[in-house]
Structures are given as structure tokens and as C-alpha cells.
Amino acid sequence: MATELPSKTFCILPWIHLSTRPNGHMRVCCTANASSVGPTNDKVHGGEVGVLKNADGKPANLNHTDFLSSWNNDYMKNNRLQMLAGSEPPSCTKCYKEEREGHRSKRQWETEYWSKRVDVNKLVAETQDDGSVPPHIAYIDMRFGTKCNLACVMCSPHDSSLWIPEWQKMYPNVQNETLKDTMQWGSKGQENGASYNWHKNNPQFWEQLWEQIPNMKQLYFAGGEPLIIEEHYAILEECIKRGYAKDMEIRYNSNGVEWREDLFELWSHFKLVRFHYSVDAIEDRNDYIRYPSKWERNLEAFKQLDNDTPGNVEITIACAVQALNIYYIPEFLKWKLQHGFKKINMWPFGAGGVNYHFVYHPPHLNVKILPTWFKDEIEAKYEEFIPWWKQNWQLGVPEWHKGKVTEEQWLNADYGIDRLRGMVRFAKSEDWSRRLPEMKEYLELLDKQRGTNFYTTFPEMKDIFRDI
């Protein structure tokens, strides 16, 4: 039986969760502060909506802000009170917009997931009149700086160290003023005492983290690239040493390019590992988007993850849906379904598809930027693909579900046909095509710098700039 929520805008995360940015800023969750969705610099809400604020209005940053005091600062308390009252906190605009546009949001799936693991009624009952709650953090999103081995087309130096030399070469040549504003990195991640090395030489943070670890049900690692960051491994080892691992879930977003040799053995000690493998397309389109990755390494990683990981490990493909790949999702799905994986995206009622989330920043790669006629082509292509998926739906059913689910149940699951159509509805919900000149300049500058070619890698898209 589904848990009855206290309001239609309620999200469980402000009661159980904190999220970090690579520069040490704390935020409501990783989806908050989506820069192309809401008023990120709206002075009414303190600027940088979604980032927790201290009493002076400046971001709460782990270089200088007490970890636990941020849990009940005014920003966090107001967020909770607004949700209980049924209003929409500005930090959470992204989720509410997605829901209205027919897409399943992070608010929805996180609340559903955690409502089965913690007592929502107890959380609400413990909430004080001012919005404060006991400091029992069950779930934390850890981003230890920007160390990364890729410079993905939709990323930036804010999140990837490999993007720094790319940005240094590219930014001086940007002509479009809006694009130039979008790509600015003037602070180098160091505004208001922030630093990409916030987790180093920071005994207060580590002391408070270990105070909270007994309460933790899940640790989430993202980046940068978590599998090449030393502190990630140190936490796993310490959780195992202290005896917490057996009761703890760990979750990742990772590009899967490289990992330490003993990673799978470390994973075997934990209650559950949910590994979200970031892949957005196949073959040369993958190499373009996740530059400078090579599809051959992806194929090797798929094999290792599917065959060599312990039984407590769930593997899902996490696809960042953007202007460059939304047209090609059917090819990606078909490849995945035909590949015969044993465990990748095979957890119950996943429809055998992949996990989708939208790219919001940079806005010049958001799916809404595509011209209307091309969105119509995407919709037609999806509708052409759906009969094939229906005919071959059992390709995505794992052995332990064969004979236990119907075609309707499987295809209408969270990542089934409804989700596929929802992406089209989301793309069509707003027309951002005025920003196509930004996209064109961005890709052409990047191609010149990297020796890549958008027009040959994505030939079906070559006409999207025809009116520019």
C-alpha cells in the first residue's frame, strides 16, 4: 500500500538528505539549483536557488560551515515548511516543471523509494513549528571535487577537471554573448570560500560525517568521477572496518572508464550497490558526447559489470537525455535489449530499458532547443519504434521475472513506453529554438578544438541549423 504523503508538493529528501557540489556548497539535492529552470540568481530567494544559505545569505560551504548546522538553517527549514503547506519551494522548480510536462521527476521516484525505507509519518511528526528536524541524515550525496577523466560535451570545468584546458582554449573565442554568459567560470569554483579541495585537510567535516554514518542508509557518490577519487575508496574501507557496510546501500553515477582493481571486492561487503553507468548513445555518438571515451572500453565495462560484479550489485544505464541524443534513443534501446544482459537494468519493472534524466545545463543542449519540425520527427521515430519494442518485449525480461509479468505490466513500467513518450512531451512543452545559434557556435568551436565533427557524427541532425 502506497504511503499517504502530507501534501501534493511533498518531497522526502529535505527530511533525510543533503547534497554537495564539487566545490563544497551544500544543497537540497542534486536536482535543486538547475540553472536553466528557475531563477538561479533571483535576489528574492537569495541567489543560487537550491544551494543552502547561511544567515548572511552566502552559500553554506563545507570549507567553513558546520555540516550539521546547515541541516537546520533557515533555508532548509523554510523548504520543509513550504512543502508541508503544499507550496512549491523555488529550489525545487525543476521537478515540478517536469511533472507538469508529463515526466517522472526525481521528487517522485526518490519519495517512492524512500517511503518504503523510512517512516514518513514519523518524519513529519518530528518536524518542529519552525521546520527543524532531528539531525539523523539517512542519505548523503558526496562530490569530492572535480577530478575526472572525461570532458563530456554537456559538462564544464565546474564538474570536470579535464574540462579546464578545454575551457581555457574555447572561452576566449566565444562570440555569442548569451553563450559567453552561460559558459563563464570566473570564480574557478572558489566564490565565498569554496574550493574543489574542500574535502582535504578538513577534520571537522570528516568528524561530523563519521558521527552521522551510523544513521546512514545510503551513500551516493558522483563527481567529478568517483571511481578515480581516493576519498571514495577510503570511505568504503572505513565503513567495512567499522562494521557499517552490511547495513548500508551505496549508489553511484560513474562513467565507468576506470576503477581500482579491488572495487568489486569492496562492494561485496555492502547491503546493496546501485551503480548508474553513464552512457548516452552507442558507438561514435558515445565517443562524441562522452569525449574522449572510446566505445570499445564501454563494451568491455558492460561485460565486466554484467558478469563479474557480486550478487548485491544492481547495474543501470543512466542516460543523460539532451539535444544530441534524444533522436537516437530508439537505436540505443534496441542495442541494449538485443545485447542479452543478465543484470543491467533488470531490476523489477524497469521494462528492460534504460534510466533517463534530462540535461538542463548547459541550456544550449537542452532538448527543448530543437526546432519544432525536428521534435515532430523524433516523435514519429519513437512511435515507429514502439511496435518493435512491443513485439520484442521479452528481450528485456530477466530470467527471474519470466512468466511472472504481463506485457502490459512490463511495457508500462517506470522506464517503459510511457516514459519514452514523456520525453517527447517534455521536449515539446516549450520552444527554446531561439537559442539554436548558441548551440551551433558551441559545437563548431568544440569540433575545431577537438577534431570532432558534429555534422558527420549526427548526420540526421545537420538541418537543425538550416534557418540560422
- H or E element that contains 254: strand 249-254
CA angle 449, 453, 454 (to 5 degrees): 115
pLDDT of amino acid 1: 45
Question: Which residue in the block uniquely carries the three cell numbers 540560422?
Answer: 468
Q: What predicted TM-score, i.e. pTM, was given to this entire model?
A: 0.91
DSSP 130: T
Q: Are 59 and 197 in contact (CB under 8 A)?
A: no
Q: Which three cell numbers stand for residue 97?
A: 516543471
pLDDT of residue 347: 60
Task: For the chain, 468 residues long, give each residue's pLDDT as a single digit of tens.
Answer: 457 899 999 999 999 999 999 999 998 898 886 543 433 444 444 456 788 888 888 888 998 887 788 899 898 999 999 999 999 998 898 899 888 877 788 999 899 989 999 999 999 999 999 999 998 889 999 999 999 999 999 999 999 999 999 999 999 999 999 999 999 998 787 777 778 999 998 998 899 899 889 888 999 999 899 999 999 999 999 999 999 999 999 999 999 999 999 999 999 999 999 999 999 999 999 999 999 999 999 999 999 999 999 999 999 999 999 999 999 999 999 999 999 898 887 765 556 788 888 998 899 999 999 999 999 999 999 999 999 999 998 887 777 777 777 888 777 777 788 888 989 999 999 999 999 999 999 999 999 999 999 999 999 999 999 888
Q: Is 369 helix (H, G, I), strand (E, B) or coil?
A: helix
**Per the structure block, which three cell numbers stand in for 413?**
513500467
CB neighbour burial string for 445-457, b if at least 16 within 10 angstroms, e if fewer: bbbeebebebeeb
The predicted pLDDT at position 467 comes to: 84
pLDDT for position 182: 92
pLDDT of residue 351: 65
Alpha carbons within 13 A on the beta-carbon side of 278: 29
Residue 405's Cβ-side half-sphere holds a number of Cα atoms within 13 Å equal to: 22
